[in-house]
Structure 1
Amino acid sequence: MIVLKAVLASKDREYISAWLDFVQGSPFGATMRFTAFSQWESFQEYMHEHEGQELPDLVIAEPEFLNPWLESMGGEPGVPWLLLSEGHEDVEEDKRLMKYQPLPTLLDAVLNASRQPRRKKVHRLGQQTISIGVVSASGGSGKTAVALHMAKQLGLAGYAVLYLNLETLDSVLPFLEKGLKRSVQRMPDAETGLSRLLYDLKVSRKGSGKQGQTQTSSKGIDGYVLRHEGLKADVFWPLSNRKELLQMSCEDTTGLIQYLSIAGQYDVLILDGDSDWDGRSEGILEAADALVWLVEDDLSAMHRWGQWMLHAERTKPDLHQSVLDRACFVVNKYRDSVVNALPRPDLQLNAVLPYIPSWKQLSQEEVMLSSPIFQREIKRLCAMLVQDGEEDLKQTGRIHNGDGWAL
């Protein structure tokens, strides 16, 4: 379950107590955690201690707390905030939270305002390419839709992106084919780009004389890829010979990802593979810098997720721990709440992506790639994985500081 962390600051201790008592006894108690302060010094110390760490999802404060804090942060705190107001302050309406109104209404407003991404991994672009694998233990979890949306949103943000699909039976061509035909092709034999690159890399590895080592080709990547303008990313035309994919080993896959990364042409690689234990899937799990692990909120999907983790823990403990360190676990097709229990205590959810009913009857690529609701949540997911110039942010536990109440 995703727990939103918020800070509440008010001079009125009775108001704070009523707020926390209500949360503790309500359904909000499972989804929100508040740390509350009635003194400026304790609030200031707490916020200062958390600079450079994982900040709260939201700050709700009266003007006596909020204004000095915003001033100390230069007006750019990097944290969403709401002014706990009695109606006299000069502040934008979407930043005002009226102090005296029904507590369920207050907490609904808090929940909406704190829908900010929980950062799992932070990457400093401009230094090296980051590869993001979109994976799952269950088929039909929506990996391709998520991968395509991530590629598009990062491309729109100005990053150089390559989308790589390694599914045995790709589901992506119906959504990309029209756009590929409209794009300016970089090579006459567009449909053989990935096949030729895989062959060239095998020849390169043999020539290097070192197992698993891939030499950078002087050709670069331009000769193998196509630009897809609708996706705002480069892509490979899907392989038509399934045998080539079935024969790809884990070494072949890691070598391909390594080559695409060290070439330095892209900021982000989006990797899309099968939900299986084949060499391609294992290669993505081993080589990706970050993983978006999708799970659906149903009993079968949760069970498969747990079984995958159990099998990996028993057979490949190093890979199991590495996956836990790099993965952002995401419920896809989310509908208001997560009903099923997570399969293991060492697993936690980091984000959700909404269910889009209209995708059940897709007839055009533009429909799937243009859902405003899904795009908004994908942007937040991307922000969890790709941030300029920041260090990794680590989760912190409950903190009781001075007169602070933690719930």
Structure 2
Amino acid sequence: MRTSRGGVVLKRFQLAVVAKEKEYTRRLADYIRGSAFGERWQVAAFTHPGACKQYAKQGYAIDLIAAESELLRELRPELSAVPSVALVSKPGEGGGDAELMQFQALPVLLKGLAEQFGRLSGRMGDSPPRSEGAGTRIVTIHSATGGVGKTTLALHLSNAAAARGQKTFYLNMERWDTSGLWLHALEPAGELGDGLSELLYELKTGEPDSTKWIAGRRRYHPLLKCDYIAGFRNAEDRLSLEADDAIAIVEAIAGGGQYDLVIVDLDENMTELHAALLAYADRNLWVVNDEPSCAAKQSSLLRFGQQKWGERFSAIMARSLIVRNRSEGNREKAQTAFGVAHAPVPLPDAPEWRRGEHHPLLSSSSYRAAVDQLYTYALGEREAAHAVG
């Protein structure tokens, strides 16, 4: 069966999901049918391996099996030739099979299934688009330590993208959002309007057109030349945010195809929410400095991530870069300690920003130039359309 997307005829593949809980298979199947993943995949859900075997015996093709590890072993004798992924509750349960965490944000799970299908079948070009905005790239800015300059980098990176004609959206997902010090400086007090709290409410209550909702409430920053919306109206909305909700917010922004780039500014924690967003992103930039405590915390975060999420976190690390801010130390030592690719563009210290005063946006020409080079290296973009300075 084929479907047309953007004038291109695409083959649809068959996914068989095998899990004991009927509610899990129902929820996953319903989500797939209503998502962009469903444009490329049909799904058949089973709660017993015998039913899946019978389905195959009746002549129905199966391109990929996603099954709980115990059930996958029962499927093996008859369906060993079909690419398969074990759905596990903790790393290592797959017994050597390709595996994905069963209970995680559904968009992240589907992205993982598409990647595994490409790897197992050798059909990388057949991986389905992430969303309607298939050309939209997601970049996260993260660190194990607070106060290392994540938000400053994220805002400058947004500007660097705009200088290349990229339609960019800046999204702050920190628990304690301070980006308003810069973003709202040009706005009249009390006129922020609807923001992430209201968007989350709309998504949870089934807003039929989130793209239209965002278009009516987004703001354009004339200096950064990027869009954004106001943050969470109260801290409780952010503190209670779950991984699925965070992914839904990013999808709502990226899914309309209005943006080339979404830059997600994260806080320094490492929860399932953070792991989901890092796994969902195309590129992760981890900001560090030369303080010994910063290096120790970053190393601890990476060890924790590998222990908790295993292969899933290894995939995150493969799409990540260490970015050194205010750095004068030994880069080679840092590379060995972190085990993550290192961006060869350090961000310079801006003495004018360290006087205890609130600094204006884009006020350091040396920092802007370094971020411009970092953007070119990290995202492979052409040079900016105008000089930085």
Instruction: Tell me the TM-score normalised to structure 2 length.
Output: 0.59
Q: Pick from 345, 348, 351 the counterpart of residue 357 of structure 1.
A: 351
Change (3 A) 1:365 1:177: farther
For the pair 1:172 / 2:179, whether they are aligned, the reply is yes
Query: Which residue does 1:157 correspond to in 2?
Result: 164
For residues 355-376 of structure 1, give each alpha carbon's deviation from its aligned partner in whole angstroms, at most 9, with x where no partner exists.
111111364553x422110111
Question: What pairs up with 1:377-392 in 2 under 5 angstroms?
Answer: 377-387=370-380
Cross-structure match for 1:323: 316
Q: Secondary structure at the match of 1:134?
A: strand
CA RMSD of aligned residues (A): 2.6
CA contact (8 A) 1:294 1:330 kept: yes
Offset at 1:192? 2.0
| Matching residue's letter, 2:212 | K
- Which of 218, 225, 231 is equivalent to 1:232? 225
Contact 2:320–2:340 (8 Å) recurs in 1:
no
Residue 284 (structure 1) shift: 2.3
Cα deviation, 1:186-209, whole Å, max 9, x if unaligned, reads xx97432222211111122xx8xx
Match of 1:197 among 192, 196, 199: 199
2:280 — aligned with what?
287
Query: What is the CA-CA distance between 1:129 and the residue it aligns to?
Result: 0.4
Aligned to 1:164, the other structure's residue is in SS state strand
Counterpart of 1:163, as a letter, is Y
Instruction: Look up the match of 1:269.
Output: 262
Q: Work out which structure has the larger RCO, using CA pairs closer than 8 Å and 6 or more positions apart in sequence.
A: 1
**Does structure 2 conserve the Cα–Cα contact (< 8 Å) formed by 1:333 and 1:353?**
yes
2:142 and 2:267 in contact (8 A); partners too = yes
Aligned partners of 1:230, 1:338: CA distance in 2, in Å? 33
Cα displacement (A) at 1:159: 1.1
Aligned to 1:132: 139
> Aligned residues, how many?
249
Deviation of 1:319 after TM superposition, in Å, equals 2.8
Query: Using the alignment, how far apart are the partners of 1:386 and 1:219 within structure 2?
Result: 28
- Structure 1 residue identity aligned to 2:311: D
**Residue of structure 1 in register with 2:92 after alignment:** none
| Aligned residues of 1:299 and 1:340 also touching (Cα < 8 A) | no
Rounded to whole Å, the distance in 2 between the matches of 1:258 and 1:358 is 37
Whether contact under 8 Å (2:139, 2:263) holds in the other structure is: yes
Q: 1:310: which partner in 2?
A: 303
CA separation of 1:388 and 1:155: change in aligned 2, threshold 3 A? closer
Deviations, residues 340-366 of structure 1 (Å, cap 9, x unaligned) = 555637334223111111111364553
Q: Report the CA distance between 1:259 and its aligned residue.
A: 1.9
1:260–1:292 CA distance, 2 compared to 1 (3 A): same
Structure 2: segments with no counterpart, 5+ residues: 1-132, 383-389
The DSSP-based 3-state class of the residue aligned with 1:223 is helix
Are 2:140 and 2:265, in contact at CA under 8 Å, matched by a contact in 1? Answer: yes
Please name the residue that 2:9 is paired with: none
Deviation per CA, 1:213-260: give whole Å up to 9, x if none. xx7536252123111111111111122301000111011111111221
Matches within 5 A, 1:13-52: none
Give % identity. 26
Q: 1:277 to 1:218 in 2, by over 3 A?
A: closer
Q: Is the 8 A contact 1:194 1:224 kept in 2?
A: no
Report if aligned partners of 1:170, 1:238 keep a CA contact under 8 Å in 2. yes
Q: Distance in 2 between matches of 1:318 and 1:220?
A: 37
1:398 is aligned to none
Distance 2:150 2:233 in 1: 21
